[in-house]
Amino acid sequence: MSKKSLLMSLVLVTVGIIIGAIVVSNFSGRVNVGYARGGDVKLGGSAPIQTPNSSVKALSENFIAVARAVTPSVVAITVTSSGKGKDHGMPHDFWHFFGPDMKSPDDEPMQGFGSGVIITPDGYIATNNHVVEDADANGIEVVLHDKIRYKARLIGKDPSTDLAVVKIDGKDLPVAALGNSDDVQVGEWVLAIGNPLQLTSTVTAGIISATGRNIGIIQGSYGVENFLQTDAAINPGNSGGALVNMSGEVIGINSAIATTNARYQGYGFAVPVNLLKSVAMDLIREGKVDRGFIGVTIAPVDQTMADALGLSDANGVLVNELVKGGAAERAGLKPGDVILTVDGRQVNAPNELQSYVAQHHPGDMVTLKVFRDGKTFEAKVSLMARAEDKLAANESQAPEQNENEGKDNALKPTEFNAVGMTVRSLSSEEKKEFDLDRGVIVAEVKPYGEAFNRFIRKNDVIVEADRKDIGSPAELKRVFDSHKPGESVLMRLKRDNSKQTAFVAVQIPVPK
């Protein structure tokens, strides 16, 4: 090989080695040889959207402003209580927020975590009753947004609304602005601010997904539920925290979630702030709530009930019973009346009426618009304090059962196939048990028939139909026979598991 050829071979080999080294270097993840050690390295690229949509940016800035303004007025609450192994008796599908560990051995104390909202500069704080109800003496601690700790004392609590007020010895504290929950609209943006799972000062966003919710979580016949529903993420520890609108006003106190695992699944519930205002004022002034009552048991009105009552639309709430000597009875109301409005406000669900009246005191006057027998009238009701309730009895003496129906036939069942139920006359023992002179007892209910779907159950007693006293199956049959298919029949029942009565309407099915 000539010297020239040898030289060319060496050059080619050298070039190959250099190229191979560069390739290997790039694939091995080593920094490109173009960057000197200690030099700048540019990571990432340019923003794909140089000018964000102005509406989106404005909304984001509004969230930031509201969170920054309101968060200092939301506190963390830690409660220590004697170990009782208590689970608060909560319904299966709904949970109060208290903390992730709600049970403890009987001989050990337990701690729970919640939130609160500062409502006065000198340290009154609103929270939930279920957050503080089991607190030991000196067992409530409040931590402010700036991490300053206080011991708090319980001022008062109201189990009927699940609200409470505690007090710390502070001054010039950041106070939350309280809005008007009556103005809240489904679909509006809200922020939930609190301390879920001990993650202090957490802010989540969502919308108002419903108003006026009654979820049956507050136990007792005087529970007031008119919750705002939101899909803002809230978890155990958010209880007592703030639900805030885009003006930075508190419109609700977060209280419960719908869940099957005691964690967020998309539905949270807050006590409306207008109810909080009334309750908090009473608790601060008196240490208890002095609440006025109309003195009625009420039920919703659907279209079948409206048809049976002669109402053109399914509006208002139905009066099932009156408290004897109560405000409603004194004002002249009767069972079977329909309350359409209170002080000019339309009410279409029992909790709407309850929530409005719950903001008033004994002696306050409310004006009801009432429907009765095809006509409407106004009734002025002076609210009364709650007393031991005695439901007004039907004082009319109904005639005894038709003697032509002999003893052998009296207890013979009569079928009402059209609505899917069977009834019979009451025995002497049953009359004593139900404290009734007349009525017919439901002996059987066909599953998923009209009676079943209208919540009539075995052993309910029918005492009226079409406002007429019923003493035998034959009398009930005459009422049904007077109606055509598609029409509704109004009945009054005495429930098997209750001493109270209720109105139920059934529609006679149209033959197919």
- Would you please indicate which residues are annotated as catalytic (active-site) residues? 130, 162, 239
Q: Is 323 strand, coil or helix?
A: strand
Token look-up 């529609």 returns 507
Neighbours of 267 (CB within 10 A): 18
Amino acid at 466: D
- Bridge partner list, 152: 140
The token pair that represents 345 in the structure block? 């406000």
Dihedral of CA atoms 179, 184, 187, 193 in degrees, nearest 10, equals 30
The token pair that represents 496 in the structure block? 């098997």
309 within 8 A of 286, measured Cβ to Cβ: no
DSSP assignment letter at 447: T
Neighbours of 293 (CB within 10 A): 22
The span from the CA of 195 to the CA of 197, in Å, is: 6
* Phi/psi at 374 (5° precision): 85, 0
The token pair that represents 348 in the structure block? 């279409």
The token pair that represents 222 in the structure block? 């005087």
Q: Is 494 strand, coil or helix?
A: strand
Burial class of residue 19, CB neighbours in 10 A (0-12, 13-18, 19+): exposed
Residue 442 CB partners (closer than 8 Å, separation 6+): 421, 422, 423, 451, 456, 457, 458, 459, 460, 461, 462
